[in-house]
Structure 1
Amino acid sequence: MSILEIKDLHATVETPEGTKEILKGVDLTIKAGETHAIMGPNGSGKSTLAYAIAGHPKYEITSGSVTLDGEDVLEMSVDERARAGLFLAMQYPVEVPGVTVSNFLRTAKTAIDGEAPALRTWVKDMKGAMADLRMDPVFAERNVNEGFSGGEKKRHEILQMQLLKPGIAILDETDSGLDVDALRIVSEGVNRAKENTEVGIMLITHYTRILQYVKPDFVHVFVNGRVAEQGGPELAERLESEGYDRYLTPSA
């Protein structure tokens, strides 16, 4: 049962104007089987939080801690974080020319598990997961994200999550750019992964529409680099009707 604990996390990034602090003391705990929705306006630091946890070199952690099952995540390399059970579904998935989806997924699974999955079982699992996500089998032999639509890229991210079975999954605006049908299919994939593996989910989003399909246990309002308020699903409903104005004060 994985537990991700973030305590008083501060992080900076270099900008043309100099060093800028983005995360300003984030406290958050996510346990296996829980879904935490991180909601907030543009520029509040939500994606920075995701990438800082994942180990993006652009962001420098200046203080605070991140642990996964008691182990210091910040001392781990990016690949060590993945093997420890962290997964990041990117807001803007990158293209990887020359690497097919099937090779990419099996190589990733082998790296995380320390041994290659049995080929017959793997092919069955991959085909089943792709069918669940309404992905044409031909995608397995296409290069990773090359020529994929926005919705296809997001389905591929969820396909990775289903097959790699992380302990904690960070989904960075997985709903952005999706039409209604794609949103429902992607959401079903998230729910399926949660039911099958008890993964803990950090779901970063601006809007409540994905929360109609992926029901959060906790909602956190993220403003100016920190959690400004937290509550249950009713908090998301209030944000839908009121927006973020109450948090956007000079002292926020």
Structure 2
Amino acid sequence: MSTLEIKDLHVSVTTDDGPKEILKGVTLTIKDGETHAIMGPNGSGKSTLAYSIAGHPKYDVTGGTVTLDGADVLAMTVDERARAGMFLAMQYPVEVPGVSVSNFLRTAKTAIDGEAPKLRTWVKDVNKALGDLDLDPTFGQRSVNEGFSGGEKKRHEIAQLELLDPKVAILDETDSGLDIDALKVVSEGVNRFRAREGKGLLLITHYTRILRYIEPDHVHVFVAGRVAESGGPELAEELEANGYERFLTAAPATV
């Protein structure tokens, strides 16, 4: 059983005017087999939560805890978090010129597992993962994200998810920039991951359209660095119909 537990998490960033608190006491537990969706307006701290859990150096954790199966995530380096079973699909995947997709995937798999995958079975696994996401096998010869369309970048992120097989996946606005066909393909890939035993998923999104393909167990409304309300899928439908106004009016004033 895998459990990602976030308790009273406070996170700040350094600005020209000094430290600015972004997360103001976030508490959230994701158990295996659960899909949690976080929705909220721009600037509410959704991506900050994702990057803080992953270990981005820009974000300074000033309070609270994050544990995965009882292990202290915040005490781990970024690579240790990945080996422990955490995965982040970035909103804006970066280009890595000169590094092929196939070499990148095999190097990442080797680093996480501690040994290189057998080449013959690995090539089959990669080709299947790419094919399932409507990516041609020659895609593996291209440099990572260089010249990729928005849809190709996001599908490549999900190929990584399928091949690296983490315990908990955090998807930061994976639906942004996708047309309807690419959204369906990406969602099918995420659902294949969800169907595996012992997997947890945290899905960050602005829109309900991806939630029509990836049905969450829990929906959390993020406002001003806090979870303003939690509920089931029906909460996402309320947001679609009425927006965030009632949560924004109820949010505490920022200092």
2:220 aligned with 1:244: no
Query: Aligned partners of 2:65 and 2:129: how far apart in 1?
Result: 35
Query: Aligned partners of 1:197 and 1:177: how far apart in 2?
Result: 30
Q: Kindly tell me: are residues 165 and 251 of structure 1, through their superposed partners in 2, closer, same or farther at Cα, counting changes over 3 Å?
A: closer
Deviation at 1:249, TM superposition (A): 2.1
Query: Percent of pairs identical after alignment?
Result: 75
CA RMSD of aligned residues (A): 0.9
Q: Scaled by the length of structure 2, what TM-score is found?
A: 0.97
- 2:152 partner letter: E
How many residue pairs were aligned?
Answer: 252
Q: Which residue of 1 aligns with 2:4?
A: 4
Query: Aligned partners of 1:111 and 1:193: how far apart in 2?
Result: 20
Contact 2:224/2:251 (8 A) holds in 1: no
Q: Which residue of 1 aligns with 2:176?
A: 176
2:47 aligned with 1:71: no
Contact 1:165/1:197 (8 A) holds in 2: no
- 2:162 partner letter: Q
Could you give the per-residue CA deviations for residues 6-42 of structure 1, whole angstroms, max 9, x where no partner exists? Answer: 0000000012232100000000000111100000000
Q: Which residue of 2 aligns with 1:162?
A: 162
Q: Which residue of 2 aligns with 1:28?
A: 28
Query: Aligned partners of 1:30 and 1:117: how far apart in 2?
Result: 29
Q: Scaled by the length of structure 1, what TM-score is found?
A: 0.98
Query: Aligned partners of 1:80 and 1:143: how far apart in 2?
Result: 25
Q: Which residue of 2 aligns with 1:206?
A: 206
Contact 2:50/2:172 (8 A) holds in 1: yes
> Unmatched 5+ residue regions in structure 1?
none
Deviation at 1:197, TM superposition (A): 4.5
Q: Which residue of 1 aligns with 2:143?
A: 143
Q: Which residue of 1 aligns with 2:221?
A: 221
- 1:149 partner letter: S
Q: Kindly tell me: are residues 192 and 250 of structure 1, through their superposed partners in 2, closer, same or farther at Cα, counting changes over 3 Å?
A: closer
Q: Which residue of 1 aligns with 2:133?
A: 133
| Greater CA drift, 123-132 or 241-250 | 241-250
> Unmatched 5+ residue regions in structure 2?
none
Could you give the per-residue CA deviations for residues 173-231 of structure 1, whole angstroms, max 9, x where no partner exists? Answer: 00000000000000000001111344200000000000000000000001100100001
Contact 2:228/2:251 (8 A) holds in 1: no
Could you give the per-residue CA deviations for residues 147-166 of structure 1, whole angstroms, max 9, x where no partner exists? Answer: 00011000000000000000
